[in-house]
């Protein structure tokens, strides 16, 4: 990290802190604006056409994140949540299954515009520019470019299946992803475009792509019994490529990018999704920024991509034992191993993986501890994840039914039904552990509503997900709320045995805002006693939820 | 509250007070727009980009290139440059010419031509020619009883022209053979700390000394490799070579058989590896002739008896057993404890496991899936001092 990039986030954080500190004194800025809570953050409004690409290399991303601690590590609330603790739609994220019902078919379809594709009439138009996976580029008859990737011979269907599953899930979570399709490629029908070029590492230049190059790719790929190749076709995203985003800092040349990435909730919460799906490759270089043009607007759109290394797939080999369990470099266990001449062993070395089809790779749930899950190396946003970020993401995970999960896995079209069955079972079990860990780690009260006549109702997301029993009782603390200064006047305390209560009439009378702090008392979940703070605003037809704070 | 509330409050204090959250955010963005700066990479980023995009790729490129390493055991670090083209016959053929010189004054020039892959990668063939000069080779005498105090040095030069061919009927098995013509010559060594070989030894105890000999070597080999992965943690690698050295005057002709068996077993997710090696070499003179000492197998040094000096033992027959316990410290770094045992013999009957020279030690291996890049071994227990080796590549 340069001193500049280290200093900038610190300065930003200091400014935010100062702003917070001066807020009550200025009393000019209301806690809630009339349009709160916003559902959309228009971070595509200003012209970003001067943004330049940032292309991090694998080596730099590893070194910077492993040894240089980029970004700011701190225990503060995510900086891009709205006043009800949710993530507004933006160029980063679009609320999908977290906010609205999605049919199984819609989840499975993901970002894809087409039901399926056939590669007949397509031409090889270039070599693959990066990545370990064997492949090349093809262009369809309409001129659209796709990246074509193959499975390794040792693990047929593994990497392509992982890509299909990962893309569908990440799209449903709410991230921008590119369209992906599974298709069969007949090598005897393959045509190479006259202008197809490839980077030749032997000469360090681009040259014409030949049949020999294509055969090299085939040689490194799993072949189907019918002589064809199963491939993954990824549609190139629209716009001009800008390289990758980073899980820390902001782009200094993008006026729309005002929240440090390590403090974006959808990036912090990606740790939960990564743990569920074992996306150990959750790192900056597996992201994509595109300069999009919409009418006169040019803005940066942020994509998650490259899911070839999720679940049991290591893309070109079965996932390593360490993957998901330990960073590539984790000092303490390494020193312990050295000091004891190898007698000290890491827990992950003892995991026994069942015998499963090779298309599964190395994936299991029995030893999975979501809180201990690790990507390949430290991710600043993941490191900043707090219980409220994790809860937000876990709620999204909870939305997937077993039928949804099965349907997504079936999209991978594994030829061996045992592979489908095993992955479904494993994902279901891992989902349960994710919810056990992160849906119960903080007060899971949700869906707050205050009726016109003062009836407060709420639900419990952990109970709804069947990972906890309801709290034995609830302690409520009602108060008026001044939109400039916060809670005002004497508080009224009450207790309820049910997830409902009646607001004190005297507090509601004449109030524009009312606040209630709700502590849930549960013998097994003591953290639930930390109250959720909720604010309602009076509207013509009753009360509208305007504020939710789970963790200060 | 998050930045959507708190951050814009700062902007709000500086600008006209916004009336909505949307305005707060818009103001903050407009504020940033006035102070946009182009992205500037830091020194680490620039350095790594330079290395990854330019420096490292250049090492693998065709055309003129350079490389470092060693020419032979004990040569010291070598810098070399060459020219190569691996794109012949639609990338099924390659030529490579290079020359290198070590810090100790060893040098070598070589030209190679290889063709491979014409039949689904199952056939390989090649031809080569080289000339080298190794001016500080060590010689302690022949047999197991040679004394370290008798260390001398000799200068070995040689010119070799040969060819080889092999076939891989399966992914793991390779069989083949080759023929080569060589003209080795031995002269006094140039190591200033050691007496030249002729001060302590003559032709009776160092056969071939100061003679100009020409050899035609024919050989056949068998290799079975089922290591997984190439940086072996499971499986085995077995190689056997039968060679015949026909000397032009037939006074130094001989045949030789070498076997090298390596076995790997691992536990704990392959992070603990037991690596075993058993190697043996035996030679038979033809027509009661003598085997040139410089063509005899040697023990001692970074790849055999690591507690001993390079080339410490030399004889017509040799046996070597090695065991390593390797344990992964971090991804890409293994530590190892090792034990070596072996001996040379002047008679084949003595090729057994009695009276072996032994040593032990520890080391580190910086590796990838494809093999060890750099190895550091420290050998002890020989009674002849401690030895530290820093070597590119694995021991076995």
In sequence order, what DSSP letters do the residues of A33-47 get, joined into one string?
-TTPSPSB--TT-S-
Q: Taking CB atoms and an 8 Å limit, are B269 and A351 in contact across chains?
A: yes
| Residue A244 structure tokens | 């990758």
Q: Taking CB atoms and an 8 Å limit, are B4 and A83 in contact across chains?
A: yes
Question: What pLDDT sits at residue B118?
Answer: 54
Nearest CB partner across the interface for A16, out of B3, B41, B325:
B3
B201/chain A closest Cα distance in angstroms: 45
Question: Tell me: the pLDDT tens digits for A383-394?
Answer: 999 999 999 999
Nearest CB partner across the interface for B62, out of A35, A203, A252:
A203
Q: Taking CB atoms and an 8 Å limit, are A341 and B337 in contact across chains?
A: yes
- Domains of chain B plus CATH, in order, are 119-392 (2.40.160.50)
Angular region, B301: left φ>0, alpha ψ -120 to 50, beta rest: left
A279/chain B closest Cα distance in angstroms: 18
Given a contact cutoff of 8 angstroms between Cβ atoms, the answer to whether A498 and A473 are in contact is no
* 3-class DSSP assignment, residue A122: coil
Q: Taking CB atoms and an 8 Å limit, are B1 and A35 in contact across chains?
A: no
| Interface list for B 2-21 with A (CB within 8 A) | 2-10, 12-13, 17-21
| Residue A538 structure tokens | 């009076």
Distance CA A419, CA A413 (A): 10
Closest-CA residue in chain A for B38?
A253
Nearest CB partner across the interface for B42, out of A5, A36, A334:
A5
Question: What pLDDT sits at residue A437?
Answer: 98
Triad A202, B169, B394: Cα angle to 5°: 55
Q: Which residues of B touch A79 (CB under 8 A)?
A: 2-4, 6-7
Q: Give the CB-side neighbour count of residue B271, counting CA atoms within 13 A.
A: 25
Nearest CB partner across the interface for B26, out of A45, A212, A338:
A45
Question: What pLDDT sits at residue A361?
Answer: 98
Given a contact cutoff of 8 angstroms between Cβ atoms, the answer to whether B313 and B296 are in contact is no
Distance CA B395, CA B371 (A): 11
A221 Cβ neighbours under 8 A, 6+ residues apart: A134, A150, A151, A152, A153, A229
Distance CA B98, CA B111 (A): 7
Closest-CA residue in chain A for B326?
A342
**pTM of structure:** 0.92
Given a contact cutoff of 8 angstroms between Cβ atoms, the answer to whether B25 and B11 are in contact is no
Q: Which residues of B touch A56 (CB under 8 A)?
A: 45
From residue B179, alpha-carbon distances to A30, B111, B129, B182, B299 in Å are 90, 16, 12, 10, 26
Nearest CB partner across the interface for A46, out of B7, B10, B29:
B29
From residue B329, alpha-carbon distances to A15, A340, B52 in Å are 43, 10, 25
Question: What pLDDT sits at residue A229?
Answer: 98
The pLDDT averaged over each successive group of 10 residues in chain B (396 residues) is 43 69 96 94 90 87 92 93 93 94 97 80 92 97 96 97 95 96 95 95 92 95 92 94 95 97 96 97 94 97 96 97 97 97 96 96 94 95 96 90
B44 to chain A, any CB pair closer than 8 A? The answer is yes
Given a contact cutoff of 8 angstroms between Cβ atoms, the answer to whether A478 and A450 are in contact is no
Residue appearing with tokens 């937000």: A392
A460/chain B closest Cα distance in angstroms: 22
Other C-beta atoms lying within 10 Å of the C-beta of residue A4: 11
Q: Taking CB atoms and an 8 Å limit, are A349 and B51 in contact across chains?
A: no
Closest-CA residue in chain A for B46?
A60
| Interface list for B 131-170 with A (CB within 8 A) | none
* 3-class DSSP assignment, residue B10: helix
Question: What pLDDT sits at residue A20?
Answer: 34
Question: Tell me: the pLDDT tens digits for A261-304?
Answer: 999 999 999 999 999 999 999 999 999 999 999 888 899 999 99
Q: Taking CB atoms and an 8 Å limit, are B24 and A258 in contact across chains?
A: no
Question: What pLDDT sits at residue B14?
Answer: 53
Q: Taking CB atoms and an 8 Å limit, are B21 and A38 in contact across chains?
A: yes
Q: Which residues of A touch B40 (CB under 8 A)?
A: 2, 4
Question: What pLDDT sits at residue A6?
Answer: 42
Question: Tell me: the pLDDT tens digits for A188-247?
Answer: 999 999 999 999 989 888 999 999 999 999 999 999 999 999 999 999 999 999 999 999
Question: What pLDDT sits at residue B117?
Answer: 67
Nearest CB partner across the interface for B44, out of A16, A63, A351:
A63
Nearest CB partner across the interface for B22, out of A26, A35, A79:
A35
Q: Taking CB atoms and an 8 Å limit, are A31 and B10 in contact across chains?
A: no
| Interface list for B 268-307 with A (CB within 8 A) | 268-272
**Residue pairs between chains A and B whose CB atoms are closer than 8 Å:** 196
Q: Taking CB atoms and an 8 Å limit, are A212 and B9 in contact across chains?
A: no
Nearest CB partner across the interface for A19, out of B10, B44, B337:
B10
Q: Which residues of A touch B17 (CB under 8 A)?
A: 28-29
Q: Taking CB atoms and an 8 Å limit, are B29 and A255 in contact across chains?
A: yes
Mutate to test the interface with B, among A202, A252, A291 (most CBs of B within 10 A): A202
The list of chain A residues with pLDDT below 50 reads: 1-27
């Amino acid at each position: 990290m340069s001193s500049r990039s280290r200093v900038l986030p610190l300065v930003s954080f200091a400014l935010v802190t100062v702003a917070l500190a001066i807020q009550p004194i200025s009393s000019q800025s209301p806690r809630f604006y009339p349009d709160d809570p916003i559902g959309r953050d228009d971070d595509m409004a200003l012209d970003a056409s001067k943004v330049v690409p940032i292309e991090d290399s694998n080596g730099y991303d590893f070194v910077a994140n492993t040894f240089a601690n980029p970004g700011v590590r701190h225990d503060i609330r995510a900086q891009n949540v709205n006043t009800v603790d949710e993530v507004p739609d933006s160029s980063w994220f679009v609320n999908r299954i977290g906010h609205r019902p999605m049919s199984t078919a819609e989840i499975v379809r993901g970002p894809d515009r087409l039901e399926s594709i056939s590669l007949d009439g397509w031409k090889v138009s270039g070599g693959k520019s990066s990545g370990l996976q064997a492949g090349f580029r093809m262009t369809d008859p309409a001129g659209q470019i796709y990246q074509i990737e193959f499975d390794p011979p040792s693990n047929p269907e593994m990497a392509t299946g992982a890509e299909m599953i990962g893309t569908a899930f990440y799209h449903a979570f709410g991230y921008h992803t590119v369209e992906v399709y599974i298709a069969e490629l007949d090598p005897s029908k393959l045509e190479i475009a006259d202008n197809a070029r490839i980077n030749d590492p032997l000469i360090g230049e681009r040259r014409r792509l030949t049949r020999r190059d294509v055969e090299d790719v085939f040689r490194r790929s799993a072949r189907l019994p019918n002589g064809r190749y199963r491939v993954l076709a990824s549609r190139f995203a629209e716009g001009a490529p800008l390289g990758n985003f980073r899980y820390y800092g902001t782009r200094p040349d993008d006026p729309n990018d005002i929240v440090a990435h390590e403090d974006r909730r959808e990036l912090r919460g990606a740790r939960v999704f990564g743990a569920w799906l074992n996306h150990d490759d959750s790192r900056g270089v597996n992201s994509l920024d595109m300069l999009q043009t919409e009418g006169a607007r040019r803005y940066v759109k942020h994509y998650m991509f490259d899911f070839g290394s999720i679940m049991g797939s290591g893309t070109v080999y079965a996932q390593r034992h360490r993957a998901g369990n330990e960073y590539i470099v984790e000092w303490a266990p390494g020193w312990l191993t050295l000091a004891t001449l190898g007698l000290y062993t890491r827990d992950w070395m003892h995991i026994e993986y069942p015998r499963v089809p090779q298309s599964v790779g190395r994936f299991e749930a029995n030893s999975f501890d979501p809180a201990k899950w690790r990507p390949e190396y430290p991710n600043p946003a993941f490191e900043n994840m707090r219980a409220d970020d994790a809860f937000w993401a876990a709620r999204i995970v909870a939305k997937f039914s077993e039928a949804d999960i099965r349907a997504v896995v079936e999209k991978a079209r594994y030829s061996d039904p045992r592979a489908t069955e095993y992955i479904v079972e494993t994902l279901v079990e891992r989902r349960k552990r994710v919810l056990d860990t992160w849906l119960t780690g903080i007060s899971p009260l949700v869906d707050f509503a205050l009726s016109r006549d003062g009836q407060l109702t709420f639900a419990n997301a952990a109970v709804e997900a069947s990972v906890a029993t309801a709290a034995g009782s609830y302690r409520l603390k009602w108060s008026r709320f001044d939109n400039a200064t916060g809670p005002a006047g004497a508080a009224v305390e009450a207790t309820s045995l049910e997830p409902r209560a009646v607001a004190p009439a005297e507090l509601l009378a004449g109030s524009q805002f009312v606040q209630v702090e709700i502590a849930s008392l549960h013998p097994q979940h003591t953290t639930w006693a930390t109250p959720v703070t909720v604010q309602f605003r009076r509207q013509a037809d009753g009360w509208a939820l305007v504020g939710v704070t789970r963790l200060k | 509250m998050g930045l959507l509330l708190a951050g814009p409050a700062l902007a709000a204090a500086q600008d006209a007070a916004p009336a909505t959250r949307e305005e707060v955010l818009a103001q903050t963005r407009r504020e940033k727009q006035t102070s946009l700066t182009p992205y500037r990479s830091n020194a680490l980023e620039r350095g790594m980009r330079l290395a990854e995009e330019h420096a490292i790729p250049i090492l693998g490129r065709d055309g003129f290139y350079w490389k470092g390493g060693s020419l032979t055991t004990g040569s010291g670090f070598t810098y070399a440059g060459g020219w190569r083209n691996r794109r012949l016959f639609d990338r099924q053929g390659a030529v490579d010419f290079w020359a290198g010189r070590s810090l100790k004054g060893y040098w070598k020039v070589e030209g190679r031509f290889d063709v491979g892959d014409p039949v689904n990668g199952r056939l390989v063939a090649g031809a080569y020619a080289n000339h080298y000069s190794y001016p500080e080779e060590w010689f302690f005498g022949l047999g197991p009883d040679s004394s370290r105090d008798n260390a001398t040095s000799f200068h070995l030069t040689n010119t070799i022209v040969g060819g080889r061919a092999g076939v891989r009927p399966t992914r793991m098995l390779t069989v083949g053979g080759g023929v080569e013509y060589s003209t080795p010559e031995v002269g006094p060594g140039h190591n200033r700390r050691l007496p030249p070989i002729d001060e302590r030894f003559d032709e009776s105890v160092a056969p071939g000394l100061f003679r100009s000999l020409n050899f035609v070597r024919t050989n056949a080999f068998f290799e079975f490799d089922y290591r997984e992965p190439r940086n072996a943690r499971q499986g085995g690698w077995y190689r056997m070579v039968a060679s015949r050295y026909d000397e032009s005057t037939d006074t130094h002709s001989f045949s030789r058989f070498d076997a090298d068996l390596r076995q790997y077993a691992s536990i704990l997710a392959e992070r603990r590896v037991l690596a075993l090696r058993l190697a043996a070499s035996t030679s038979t003179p033809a027509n009661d002739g003598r085997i040139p000492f410089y063509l005899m197998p040697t023990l001692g040094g970074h790849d055999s008896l690591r507690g001993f000096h390079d080339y410490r033992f030399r004889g017509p027959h040799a046996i070597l057993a090695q065991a390593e316990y390797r344990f992964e410290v971090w991804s890409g770094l293994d530590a190892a404890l090792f034990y070596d045992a072996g001996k040379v013999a002047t008679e084949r009957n003595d090729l057994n496991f009695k009276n072996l020279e032994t040593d032990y030690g520890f080391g580190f291996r910086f590796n990838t899936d494809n093999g060890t890049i750099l190895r550091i071994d420290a050998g002890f227990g020989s009674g002849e001092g401690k030895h530290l080796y820093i070597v590119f590549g694995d021991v076995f």
